[in-house]
Amino acid sequence: MSKLKNLIAGLAGAVALNILHETLKKQSDNVPRVDLLGEDAMQRTLNYFGGNIDHKETLYNATLAGDIVGNTLYYSIIGAGNAKYLWPKVLFVGLSAGIGAVKLPKPMGLDETPVAKNDQVKFLTVGYYLFGAVVTGLVVKMISKSS
């Protein structure tokens, strides 16, 4: 599959992940807040380089854009290589992203609470990233059939 098609599939997964997150974050206090983790990472990175985003909405928008770009690129690897390994790649990529989102914030000096405050939130965090990978895999499969 071409790189452009992989990016399109990755974008579908990244957008699906963000729609899921944005929808559910308003439903309960006991769901992942990946946006808050991303904002923390964005501010710390900017601070390291002497910058800062003071306006809350600007920080949110910058983080969301970075999240979509980063996840698009990450999920796009699902379509690369041999198509017979599509679903194992979906599982590996989705679980790796989700487990990384839960386990890496603390060692990176970030507040892990938004994605790891209890077992339910941890489980859902992993599930969100797995969901994005599954959507990517489905789009890869759909694009491959139409080519």
* Residue 1: per-residue pLDDT: 64
What's the domain range around 41?
A: 3-146
Total H helices, total E strands in the chain? 6, 0
pLDDT at 127 over 80: yes
Alpha-carbon distance 19 to 2, whole Å?
26
Per the prediction, the chain carries an average pLDDT of: 95
Domain count, the chain: 1
Q: What is the mean pLDDT of residues 12-31?
A: 95
Instruction: Please give the distance of CA 1 from its chain centroid, rounded to a whole number.
Output: 22
Residue with tokens 């599959």: 1
What pTM was computed for the model? 0.94
pLDDT at 147 over 70: no
pLDDT at 99 over 90: yes
* Residue 145: per-residue pLDDT: 85
Alpha-carbon distance 102 to 109, whole Å?
13
Q: What is the mean pLDDT of residues 56-73?
A: 97
pLDDT at 140 over 80: yes
